[in-house]
A and B are shown apart, each in its own frame.
Chain A
Amino acid sequence: MLEARAVTVALAGQTVLQEATLTLRPGTVTALIGPNGAGKSTLLGCLSGAIRPDAGSVCIDGDAMEGLSAADLGRRRAVLEQTPSAAAPFLIEALVELGIPRAIPPRDARQIVHQALAMVGLSGFQGRPIDRLSGGERHRAHMARALAQMAAGRQLGAGRWLLLDEPTASLDLSHQGAVLRAARKAAAEGAGVLAVLHDLSLASAMADRVVLMQAGRIVIEDVPAAVLSEEHLCPVYGVDLAIAEPRPGTRAIVPVL
């Protein structure tokens, strides 16, 4: 389990997360949704260990987050940041390899890089410098870095949690699909996946569980069909929504203008 218990975070005197309690389970994809400023990225930051809560606690695989070294955490979970960047024009293979700790032998590392690139549709891109790629390609290269870190973690007996902060924001439809399939595949292999998503239709398509947040609090956590309803969404987003059911269990959600 990766769990946050009554986690509260205040930034500059303002409470951005209030007593949020959330449990991620292995093999499950959880979508975290809510308006801008709802505290989604802050909650993800607490679960990744990057933000230390002012109150409450976070446990990963039964261990308290504060007691773990950065290297240990790096083996247990991987994170795709909201706006990943690289200040140097690394080749793609070098960028993806950054996720892999030195404990992994070079041969295995190359294999992991190769597979991670294939999963995000960037096979054959390994020798290109990152500054020559499009924005979407860069984002997928960073996704491959997180996937490589997961694979390396699994090889070291961990690698159970994948946290994605808006993994599809800058991608076209086909690449959204590639990234979300990669996340689903990680879950199928036993990882617990948390994805902050703005696209509610995508959330319904990929997630087993949906968590709706508003103003630093978790409003509801349930299966997609239960959360993605007018009753829950309209008051939180403050707009009228048209919700259709294109396939059983999925929802297509657009604002009514």
Chain B
Amino acid sequence: MERTVASPAMAVEALAIGGLAVITVALAIAGLALGPVPLAPSDVIAALLGQAGPVEQAIVWEIRLPRIALGIAVGAALAVSGAALQGVLRNPLADPGLIGVTGGASLGAVMTIVLGGAVAGSLPADLRPFMLPFAAFVGAGVVIAFVFALARRHGETSVATLILAGVAVNAIAGAAIGAMVYISDDQQLRDLTFWTMGALGGAGWTLVIAAVVLTLAALPMMLARTRDLDLFQLGERAAFHAGLDVERSKLLIALATAIAVGAVTAAAGPIGFIGLVAPHLVRLALGPRHGVLLPASLLTGVALVLAADLAVRLAVPPAEPPIGLATSLIGGPFFLWLLIRGQGMRRHA
């Protein structure tokens, strides 16, 4: 058979994914080694194995490892959720932050921080760490259900409709969060202020573990549906004709994205643009097939978050600007560039 294109393309894809994996691992190691107190890679490994001095041990286990683990969960969850939402909605600008999913998750989390104290007392201790991610999941889920319903009513959402809906949802969530801030006490206010800027360093191990576990549960649900996402590109009617149970697939993808975005938003706060930038970079390099797009976006998202985290930690030590500022600083101009370039508007017949 004359498959002149396929084999080199597959080699390029494998190479790119391999390269991304190496970069990601290198960034993770750098994230453990670098900071206000630089450690040699050998110290990092010794500390991970429990054979380093108490100071190194504490720096790696209590400070850097949880934030690297959370960074990996945040990058993976947001990038893969972004790619999956863009696939279902046939719309390359469907970033969880832009369309309001992160806003919904934030509102759920903020309400829990301010009002949840009463409920927390009545929950078993084992479930308490999951209260924040659960509230964020509910918030994210409500917004995704709204966006999917909007897309169903109009057959296909235009970029403008989607972004405007996102503006409205974000405004509503922002107002409600503002109301929560207004009624919160001083300590809650301090927590909220840093949380709403997005930070990897603020969450304790329990929240980090909850975020990692939930992300690990949600990712396979999306990675198993790459053929569905390819079929969604034909439109829902044609996807059904090709043999896809459209409603079931949409429900599972909505559920998975709500879990993933909710879990990492609960632990790290709203971190913008990863779900937009990572899939776009991958599409530019490797094309639109979701079988490649999702895993490559996962690695790209993790690399972006870890790099942004390193950047904020090394910028003005020992101060640490929130990572959400860094991702928005990169992602905002990228988004503008996409709009000006018209990439997001282009429709392929």
Contacts and interface: CB of A to CB of B under 8 A. Distances in A.
Interface of A: 48-50, 69-71, 73-75, 78-79, 81, 84-91, 93-94, 98-99, 101-102, 110-111, 114, 126-127, 130-131, 135, 138, 145, 149
Contact of A78 (B231, B233, B241, B347): B241
Given A50-B237, A87-B90, A101 B289 contact: no
16 contacts: A50-B241, A70-B245, A81-B235, A86-B233, A87-B233, A88-B288, A88-B348, A89-B287, A89-B288, A89-B348, A91-B5, A98-B234, A110-B1, A114-B2, A127-B4, A149-B243
B23 interface: no
Given A74-B243, A87-B90, A102-B227, A93 B238 contact: no
Where chain A touches its partner, the secondary structure class is mixed
A70 B244 contact: yes
Interface string B307-349: 0000000000000000000000000000000000000000111
B43 interface: no
Interface size range on B against A: 20 to 34
A89 B92 CA distance: 12
Contacts of B232: 87
A126 B289 CA distance: 15
A90 B233 contact: yes
Given A94-B289, A111-B1, A75 B243 contact: yes
Interface in B120-177: none
A90 B349 CA distance: 11
Interface of B: 1-6, 90-91, 227, 230-235, 237-238, 240-246, 287-289, 347-349
Contacts of A69: 245
Nearest to B235: A85
A73 B289 contact: no
A43 to B, nearest CB: 15
Query: Residue among B233, B241, B288 with the most chain A CB within 10 A?
Result: B241
A55 B237 CA distance: 21
B134 to A, nearest CB: 32
A179 B241 CA distance: 19
